[in-house]
Chains A and B, each alone.
Chain A
Amino acid sequence: MKSAVIVFPGSNRETDVADAIERASGHRPIMVWHRDSELPDVDLIVLPGGFSYGDYLRTGAIAARAPIMQEVVRRADRGTAVLGICNGFQILCESGLLPGILLRNASLKFVCRYVGLKVETSQSLFTHRYQAGEVLSVPVAHGDGNYFADPATLDRLESEGRVAFRYCSMQGDLTPEANPNGSARNIAGIFNPTKNVLGLMPHPENATDELLGSISGKALFDGLVDSLA
């Protein structure tokens, strides 16, 4: 599996996700700087976590207009797998590849902890190594993760099976207490209509080694290798 990680000024999880991909695939991703307008031929493009451009204007807003993003959108439209984690999810929403937007956490507090995450579907190249309904333990670390879209968009996401993950208790209940940021319908991650683009707020790359406290995220990267190698 050949992959590229796009690096913006202010990205800070690019090495974590590169390590997770290398452990799963045996190949180090190519790091691509945001000013580049050419991408090598890859099977997977990753937009990593961080605070691109200091979250100026809106989170992800400036990064979504960086030169490289035109090429990312073009590749996504042609079917290349694109994974946006945390700030990467915010950038995907701002670029129009995913609907909705991530608002300031309802608590107004930065949340940094493990959350319960329910796998909503195993029917994707990202989640096929999981069972639908499985509960994962994955860390979040964000101040703007409050997923918002109008009710019609939320209904469409649900009816088309495009909700990938929801925040839940470790027993799998979708309670308000299990929702760390106020996201609509506990949504933590969503797909585009063709399900080759996934954006999620939690950090599966930081749950790929027992040393880190959880290996819940490992199956996502192993699954991508199965799908794309």
Chain B
Amino acid sequence: MKAKVHVTLKTGVLDPQGKAIGHALASLGFQGVNDVRQGKYIELEIAETDRAKAEAAVRQMCERLLANTVIENYAIELVG
């Protein structure tokens, strides 16, 4: 099955890249974008077929490598 992982910056963590994107959007003439936060999207193809086991495994992967929980949150979605 496929695991979709979204890694996002926690509230309060400065995101200079998001700010730069916001400025670029404004210079293109897009109005009304109040804030931009940039994150990461990671897709994993996993052999495990049991959903609970798959989710537990991906959670471990997030805690140990995919996200740094000092600054980032993660969300897991299993498909298939």
Which chain A residues border B64 with CB–CB below 8 Å? 65
Residue B20 CB within 8 A of the other chain: yes
* A94–B17 alpha-carbon span in the complex (Å): 21
Q: Are B65's CB and A106's CB within 8 A?
A: no
Q: Are B65's CB and A103's CB within 8 A?
A: no
| Min CB gap A213→B, angstroms | 29
Which chain B residues border A57 with CB–CB below 8 Å? 65-66
Q: Are B13's CB and A61's CB within 8 A?
A: no
A108 with B20, Cβ < 8 A, contacts A57-B65, A103-B13 known: yes
Which chain A residues border B17 with CB–CB below 8 Å? 104, 108
**A145-168 with Cβ < 8 A to chain B:** 146, 148-150
Range of interface residues on chain A?
Answer: 10 to 19
* A150–B64 alpha-carbon span in the complex (Å): 20
Q: Are A105's CB and B70's CB within 8 A?
A: no
Residue B68 CB within 8 A of the other chain: yes
| Min CB gap B45→A, angstroms | 18
Query: Residue of B at shortest CB range from A105?
Result: B16
- Summarize A's interface: helix, strand, loop or mixed: loop
How many interface contacts (CB-CB < 8 Å) are there between A and B? 34
A104 with B71, Cβ < 8 A, contacts A57-B65, A61-B65, A65-B65 known: no
Q: Are B20's CB and A103's CB within 8 A?
A: no
Which chain A residues border B71 with CB–CB below 8 Å? 101, 103, 148
Q: Are A106's CB and B16's CB within 8 A?
A: yes
Residue A199 CB within 8 A of the other chain: no
Which chain B residues border A148 with CB–CB below 8 Å? 13-14, 70-71
Which chain B residues border A58 with CB–CB below 8 Å? 68
Q: Are A106's CB and B70's CB within 8 A?
A: no
Q: Are B14's CB and A106's CB within 8 A?
A: yes
Which chain A residues border B20 with CB–CB below 8 Å? 108
* A105–B70 alpha-carbon span in the complex (Å): 17
What are 25 pairs between A and B in contact, CB < 8 Å?
Answer: A57-B65, A57-B66, A61-B65, A65-B65, A94-B68, A99-B70, A100-B70, A101-B71, A103-B13, A104-B16, A104-B17, A105-B16, A106-B14, A106-B16, A107-B16, A108-B16, A108-B17, A108-B20, A146-B14, A148-B13, A148-B70, A148-B71, A149-B70, A182-B14, A182-B16
Binding site for A on B (CB under 8 A): 13-14, 16-17, 20, 64-66, 68, 70-71
| New A-B contacts (13) at CB < 8 Å, excluding given A101-B70, A107-B16, A148-B13 | A61-B65, A65-B64, A100-B70, A101-B68, A103-B13, A103-B14, A104-B16, A104-B17, A106-B14, A108-B16, A146-B14, A148-B70, A148-B71
